A and B are shown apart, each in its own frame.
Chain A
Amino acid sequence: MSGALLGPVRRLFGMAALIAAGAGALSAEEAPHLNSFGLPGLIDMPNGQPLPPDSLSLTLFGFDGEYRTTLAYQITPRITGVFRYIALPGADYFDRSFDLHVLLAEEGEIMPAVRLGLVDFGGTGLFSSEYVAATKEIAPGLELTGGIGWGRLAGRGAFANPLARIDDYFADRPEGRTIEDTGRIRADVFFRGDAALFGGVRWTPTDQLSFAAEYSSDTYPFEGRRLGFTQDSPLNVSASYRFANGGELTAAYLYGNTIGISYGRTFFPGNTAIPGGTAAAPPPLVPRQSAEALGWTLPASAPVRGPDLLELSLGTLGLGSQGLTVNGSEAVLRLENPTYFPPSQAIGRAARVMANTLPASVETLVIVPVVAGMPTSEIRLRRSDLEALEYDLDGAWLSYARADISDAADQPVLEGTGFRWALAPILRRSYFDPDAPLRLEAGLALSASYNPTPGLFFSGQIYQPLLGNLDSIRRRSNSILPHVRSDSALYAVETETEITWATVEQFFRPGPNLYGRMTVGILEQMYGGASAELLWRPASSRLALGAEVNYAVQRDFDGLGFRDYDVITGHASAYYDMENGYTARIDAGRYLAGDWGATFTLDRVFANGASVGAFFTLTDVSFDDFGEGAFDKGIVISLPVQAIAGTPSRVRITEVFRPVLRDGGARLNVRNRLYDLTAEYGTPQLGESWGRFWR
């Protein structure tokens, strides 16, 4: 057999694994049947069941001139948050709305699953409704649903609100919402006014097929007025087919005279597509060798010496050294990791490279991940532990338990990373413009950075749009505040080639547990100026505190000069990792329009780096002055490419969905905020994804 070419095994197998990952079949509990409003339910009507925990569902629905896109996230096992975009182009009506749904009771042997929902609680109110629905599987594959609805769900067969027997408050529902009310939570309508019953049955004979029939209590009054839509029957029927990828296509015969089509799919952002990823195998540990054998005693003129071997080995793995010091039996490596996420994979690989290239006498291996020239945490490993645990059954956990992790402020980074550049395709998106709900622009971005000494970066990016319709936005801001964000479309319209940023940055560690940043230059698409930030984040603390102050000058729409608007803006921030997968954050201070207030953010952060979160900002700008939407709020979904594709990568896809972008509560988008840069090297996060250490 000697002389045989070593076969490429992965090339074929990896492909198969990728396909298998994409086709990973969901079990019935993981694949809810989504109704036309993107909720677990029948056809138009909701049911009593929740979405699977930590799942994210996307549903597209269309019929007779009405289109609904719904994003639903199961925030906790009981609470579902929903963002929905409804377009009725024929009526020139476009609506962004939020729902909240709460599971009151899980399905039991006898008792049904019961869910309560507040639909469109902050929108214009055209779809505003509340319900309580119950669902029980009465035979395998056969579910019965019944419910009571208020608001729009009390359109047919309405009767006096039973809650009015408790209190007259519930007898009548306040009317008269206007566009100015949009975005305000109208708790004063909840469960008020007449109520009506709805219900139906769902039959799911196989994993692929499902059928539903329902009696709907929704009479579509708005569609009747604006689109002339009439109903001939309260009964709807549907048939659904589920594809191998988990997506479900549904066709429904609606209200006796029309057909609707929907497609829904449920995702699990916290689930990495390919467990452990598809990175090439790490270098296995080899027996210790002497300093002589490894080239540590060669003269400086020798072509490949010990230190060179270490750097070469790191480079082969996509890692880099920003300085190695060996002091007696201890070696400290400042590790650059442009390749791997979760970081434990980079740390585990660097540890093996150190063990394979350092003399046998070195017993303590210290790895200091470097971020933007700053030493973060130091991970102190005993070489004999590595040797004992490499193939141990419980080696991942034991290697974490035996590692000492602490702040590395006193381990100075010795080298910069020099000159780097990249040319990358970019796809820019804009959502919810009534003229074109989804706008796209494809372009090329050339970025470069020069890092001569640790922490000092000269960098910039030039962006050339090539193809798209971002530059044809015609709607103009009617904001009565300074147009600090609402003119953002004008930049795409008037800029030919954009300097996305051009900055000088200095990152530093002012002291133990402290991180610092100063940035000067063109900071973002709309602002230039100066920014300074200080962060207190101990290596093993759930709490971090930060402060940032900026002087920002608005850029010209063509990107070449500056406008006559400048502002001092800044925030004090508190970050708290609840260690149950949630991170809370408060940023309080002065915003771009000079308004004072605070932003509240809650993120579900998964071990694989994916996160789903929501935020809102309240400032001293009144809801009336803010305009449509009343206050700034939105949803942020961030997915590491590694978790989707399996290939090693630190790139992530981040999407911010705001119902409307206006000028109150607007923050400067300065790059490289310190918490986001460094949090992954604190022990809460580092430990959660340590499973990659030996991978």
Chain B
Amino acid sequence: MTRGLRTCGAALALALACSACGVLPTGSGTPEIAPPSVGLTAGQLGLPVLNLSLLETGTAGTMALVASRDGYDTYMSSDDISLTLRAGMLIATRGFGGDLASTDASATAAALATGSAGPVERFHGFYTRGEEVALTAFVCTLTWNGAEALQRPGGPVTAQRVTEFCRSPSASFANTFWVDGSGRIVQSVQWAGERIGLVALIP
């Protein structure tokens, strides 16, 4: 139903647009955006996967690792939405709409690795309605809530649950990390901005 409405709206917009026709001489029989190149099962490709769910919409899915470079791991879904993590820390999203453009959470990462409670600063860049990237600084405190046993595919894992509460003049959110004995993030719930909200990430 919603999809039908959307298609109809797009067709109407196109019709309105074309009647004022300044269409380029190339016309528009141009290449369609092709289906994603990673639309295969992760098993077939033998790629590491990332399970995610969007807590606000309840949408869940699986992504496959498509690029690793300089510590940044980019995972992509079959319909070409991507997430980029750095040592388990959410850095960027692409393709949701209202995406997280960029992140500097190096202070949080260091605090998790050393068992510190902060306060720490983290920085996010968000796409704006004016086609810029707006940077926002957040001040965060980390709370170590003790050890929890997690059921993982490889067997049970014990991890410290850490809550990171962050605020800026305009927004506030709370991330949750489960960190194992070596300081590695085992799973997490991280904020990806006002539009996407909290994302649960389980490698």
The interface of chain A, by Cβ under 8 A from chain B, is 1-21, 268, 270-287, 315-320, 336, 338-339, 342, 371-372, 387, 390-397, 417, 420-422, 424-429, 442, 445, 447-449, 451, 457, 459, 461, 500, 505, 606-608, 641, 644-648, 650-656, 671-672, 676-677, 688-689, 691-692, 694-695
CB of B18 within 8 A of CB of A393, answer no
A16 and B57 in contact (CB under 8 A), knowing A387-B69, A654-B20? yes
Chain A residue at minimum C-beta to C-beta distance from B32: A318
A18 adjacent to B6 (CB under 8 Å): yes
The answer for the CA separation of A315 and B77 in the assembled complex, in Å, is: 19
Residue of B nearest to A315 (CB): B31
CA distance A653 to B96 in the complex (A): 25
Q: Which residues of A contact B133 (CB under 8 A)?
A: 394-397, 691
Residues of B within 8 A of A695 (CB): 94, 99, 101, 127
- Residue-by-residue, is B10-22 near A (CB-CB < 8 Å gives 1, otherwise 0)? 1111111111111
Within 114-142 of B, Cβ neighbours of A (below 8 Å) are at 123, 125-133, 135
Contact indicator A3/B13 (Cβ below 8 Å): no
- Asked, given contacts A6-B64, A695-B101, whether A689 binds B131 with beta carbons under 8 Å apart, the answer is yes
In the bound complex, CA of A628 to CA of B79 (Å): 56
- B contact residues vs A (CB 8 Å cutoff): 2-3, 6, 9-34, 36-43, 46, 49, 51-52, 54, 57, 59-64, 66-70, 72, 74, 76-82, 84, 86, 91-92, 94-99, 101-104, 123, 125-133, 135, 153, 195-196
* B17 pairs with A653, CB closer than 8 A: yes
Q: How far is the CA of A103 from the CA of B126 in the complex (A)?
A: 34
CA gap between A11 and B80 in the complex, in Å: 10
Q: How far is the CB of B99 from chain A (nearest CB, A)?
A: 5
A518 to B52, CA, bound (A): 55
Which of A20, A420, A652 touches B29 (beta carbons < 8 Å)? A420
Q: How distant is the Cα of A3 from the Cα of B153 in the complex, in angstroms?
A: 13
User: In whole angstroms, how far apart are the Cα atoms of A80 and B41 in the complex?
Assistant: 57
Minimum CB–CB distance from A328 to chain B (whole Å) comes to 24
If A320-B31, A422-B28, A425-B15 touch, does A284 touch B125 (CB 8 Å cutoff)? no
Given contacts A272-B130, A608-B130, A671-B22, contact A651 B79 (CB under 8 A): no
Which single residue of chain B is at the shortest CB-CB distance from A3? B43
Residue of A nearest to B22 (CB): A671
Do A421 and B49 have beta carbons less than 8 Å apart?
no
Is A641 in contact with B78, judged by CB distance below 8 angstroms? no
Q: Are A688 and B15 in contact (CB under 8 A)?
A: no
Could you show 14 A-B contacts with beta carbons less than 8 Å apart?
A: A6-B78, A17-B195, A316-B37, A338-B28, A339-B30, A393-B104, A422-B29, A424-B18, A442-B15, A445-B18, A447-B27, A606-B130, A653-B13, A691-B101
Rounded to whole angstroms, the CA-CA distance of A179 and B49 in the bound complex is 74
B130 touching A654, Cβ below 8 Å = no
Given A9-B59, A692-B131, decide whether A395 and B102 contact each other with a Cβ distance below 8 A: yes
Contact A318 B22 (CB under 8 A): no
Chain B nearest CB from A603 CB (Å) reads 15
CB pair A391 B97 closer than 8 Å: no
A1 touches B49 (CB 8 A): yes
Nearest Cβ on chain A to B44's Cβ, whole angstroms: 8
Let me know if A424 and B14 touch, CB within 8 A: yes
- Given A271-B129, A372-B25, A461-B21 in contact, is the A284-B66 Cβ separation under 8 Å? yes
Contacts of A651 in B (CB 8 A): 13-14, 17-18, 28
- In contact, B26 and A449 (Cβ under 8 angstroms): yes
- Among A1, A396, A692, point to the contact of B153 (Cβ < 8 A): A1
Contacts of B68 in A (CB 8 A): 287
* A691, B132: Cβ atoms closer than 8 Å: yes
Q: Are A11 and B79 in contact (CB under 8 A)?
A: yes
Cross-chain contact of B41 among A6, A318, A372 (Cβ < 8 A):
A6
Cα distance, A317 to B34, chains bound together (Å): 7
Q: Which residue of B lies closest to A397 (CB)?
A: B133
Which 4 pairs, one residue from A and one from B, show the smallest C-beta to C-beta distance?
A: A7-B61, A276-B127, A3-B43, A280-B80
Q: Which residues of A contact B43 (CB under 8 A)?
A: 2-4
A185 CB to closest chain B CB (Å) equals 29
Residues of A within 8 A of B37 (CB): 316
Add 16 more A-B contacts to A394-B135, A644-B13 (CB < 8 A).
A7-B60, A9-B61, A275-B195, A278-B95, A281-B76, A282-B82, A336-B26, A390-B72, A420-B30, A426-B19, A429-B19, A445-B18, A448-B27, A676-B22, A695-B94, A695-B127
Q: Which residues of B contact A20 (CB under 8 A)?
A: 195
Contact B12 A427 (CB under 8 A): yes
Query: A395 — nearest CB in chain B belongs to which residue?
Result: B102
